[in-house]
Every structure is written in structure tokens, then in C-alpha cells.
Amino acid sequence: MRILPKITLRGFKPNARGAGHVLGELETAVMKLLWRESELTVNQVEERLQQRRQIARTTALTTLDRMHRKGYLTREKQGKAFVYSPRYTREQFEREMAQEVLGALLGGIGEPVLSTFVELVGEDDANLDRLEALIKEKREGRKR
């Protein structure tokens, strides 16, 4: 199993969805595109994004380069072009994002965060059952 660098969150947006919690609108669109269709060049990314929004090639290039420098994307030189891929699967990204946010909250004000979390989860019995199952799994994993 490959060890990936830790995702660093910048500017958490609580009202967004998925990757949009930490990424801007264009970066989120790029990640969603690359999660669907990995290994794209700048031209391919621009072409696909053009189907939904106006975007200049230089904007696509700058965005992909910035996301690569932040560690969200990998790139490989193929011929004259770079081919970009997501460094993390959607699931890995969302898990790391959740760990970063919850870790920061629990590190500073643990008890209020835990009680609020349980209160929110407790609004739906199915969520409570799932949380209980996850806790049981975790405890059993420690005993091994």
C-alpha cells in the first residue's frame, strides 16, 4: 500500500458539498472531472470544462499546476504535454478531509464536539446504528 502525503485544508467551507468544502469552484470541477476520467492533459481538461463553463486554456493550465503544487494532483510528462491524475480517490480525499477537520475540532474542544456530533447523528436512528457498528468494529480491531 502506497503512503500518500497528508491533505492540508485551506479555508474550510461548511455549506459546500464533498470536495467543495476545501476547494474552490473550479478546483472542485477539476477534481470531479479527473475522478471520473483520470489521466487528462491540460487541453483535455479545458475541452471538457468548456462544455459547462467558459474557461481559458491559461486558466486551466494555472489551476492544474496550482493543484499539483498543493499535492491534490500528480502529473507525468508524455511527449510535450503533462498528463494529470488525482493523487487521491474521492473516498481517500473525503476521508482525509474529515480527519483533518474533526481532528482539529477534537484537539481543541473535544467534549463539546463529541456531544454535538452524537446529537446531530442521533437525529436519525439509522445513523446511530451505523455509528454504533463503526465503534464496535474499531474496538474489535484494537483487540486483535
When comparing pLDDT for 143 and 28, which is higher?
28
How confident is the model at residue 35, as a pLDDT?
A: 96
At 104 the pLDDT is 77
The model's pTM: 0.69
| Length, in residues, of the chain | 144
Of 17, 21, 104, 31, residue with least CA distance to 67: 31
Quick: pLDDT tens for 107-130: 777 788 788 888 888 888 888 888
- Mean pLDDT of the region 39-44: 96
> Of 7-11, 18-22, 34-38, 78-82, which gets the smallest average pLDDT?
7-11
Tell me how far apart the alpha carbons of residues 90 and 83 are, in angstroms, rounded to a whole number: 19
User: What percent of the chain lies above the pLDDT cut of 70?
Assistant: 83
Domain boundaries, the chain: 18-87, 91-143
> What is residue 82's predicted lDDT score, i.e. its pLDDT?
96
Q: Any idea which fold 18-87 has?
A: Arc Repressor Mutant, subunit A (1.10.10)
